[in-house]
Amino acid sequence: MSLSIDYIRSLFPVLHQIVHGKPLIYLDNAATNQKPKQVIDRIVQYYSTENANVHRGVHYLSAISTEAMENTRKNVQEFINAASDEEIIFTKGTTESINLLAHSFGKAFIGKGDEVIVSGLEHHANFVPWQQLCQEKGAVLKVIPIQPDGDLDLEAFEKMLNSRTKIVNVNQVSNAIGTVNPIDKIIGISHKQGIPVHIDGAQAVSHFAIDVQKMDCDFYTFSGHKMYGPMGIGIFYGKKEFLEKMPPYQTGGEMIDFVSAEEVTYNQLPYKFEAGTPNVGGILGLDEAIRFMKNMGIDRIAEHEKMLMNYALEQLETIESVKIIGQPKQRAGAISLALNGIHHYDAATILDQLGIAVRSGHHCAQPVMRYFGVDGTIRLSFAIYNTQEEIDTFVHALQRVIGMFR
């Protein structure tokens, strides 16, 4: 089925507005992408006709809400090809998913003198929780070095591994510079020594088909709002063999099997890790976002974004004052750039006045910025609804910005 870009854009209400007198061009998709009308409508429908607390009620609204939520769990399982829906945990987002993992895995498996590995390309959300865990446990945090092109140094990584290494954490795609990491190699190298691997998929899930069984990762985390779904909902996937050994992250309602003044036993998977009332509206919005991506065709999304990426790189490389940060072997989603003599914040502010939304700053990846010798960058990032014409407008606007500072 062939879908025109005009039709695709018609599905996103937010794109059809004027910003500072200019048509909105939204190129900040790595931060969050926009939501199609069917996702918005599904959330409205839930709060209009289905709203009830799940699992605990026997009445009609509770029953249909519970069924819809649990069907979404099964759809997420299918979307990432997990072995069981018991391995799908609902969270607030990637950040909470990683904190859950660090807390619970750390409590079960990490002690004094053990080692945890992260990469130098990580978002703070996949760096700081492990750093804090190591400080609390007296463990050692090791960082996979970045190479000048923006790829990870796998030779150095392999030499880091030893009998004290308890877990490896690496993103599938860098949010800061768009590097696509060779996670198959990283997982293979780690598993040869019996070391589990967690993949931060926040920046990958909207760009590629995800198959956690084929990948053979032990944990995978991602957020709904970066894959055309609502904010406040995320997924923590873990292999059942680990989840059964890990203690709960939070305690309270739903995750309890039995409680008395003397003892407590915990609910079965996945509910052991889902304390409190879940974000049911967000979960159902995520369900609709998965349906949207399937209808678009994940391969078609990837092909369209690759075309935009290549086109943008070609255009930007012709501008003398632009420095593209990193030249990884494979890039997805985002391009980070610096402008000679122009602060990224100033440039982004002017671009905003021209109706163009980009991100400026360190992108919650300060170790990456320090490695490349910058305090921040302008980042443009793409989604299914972006066009070549928008990139042309961005490039012309960027040239205008550069001209203003000469």
Catalytic residue positions?
364
Three state DSSP letters for 320-365: CCEEECCCCCCECCEEEEEECCECHHHHHHHHHHCCEECEEECCCC
Tokens 């369209």 found at = 304
SS3 category, 51: coil
DSSP annotation of 193 reads T
Place of tokens 């090809």: 81
Structure token pair of residue 213: 């069984």
* All residues at 6 or more sequence positions from 330 whose CB lies less than 8 Å from its CB, including other chains: 179, 180
For 113, the token pair is: 């003198």
Q: Which residues pair with 165 in a beta bridge?
A: 115
Cis peptide before 248 (omega within 30 of 0): no
| CB neighbour class for 386 (10 Å; exposed up to 12, middle 13-18, buried from 19) | buried
Which has the closest alpha carbon to 390: 398, 225, 339? 398
Residue 35 has, within 13 A of its CA and on its CB side, a CA count of 18
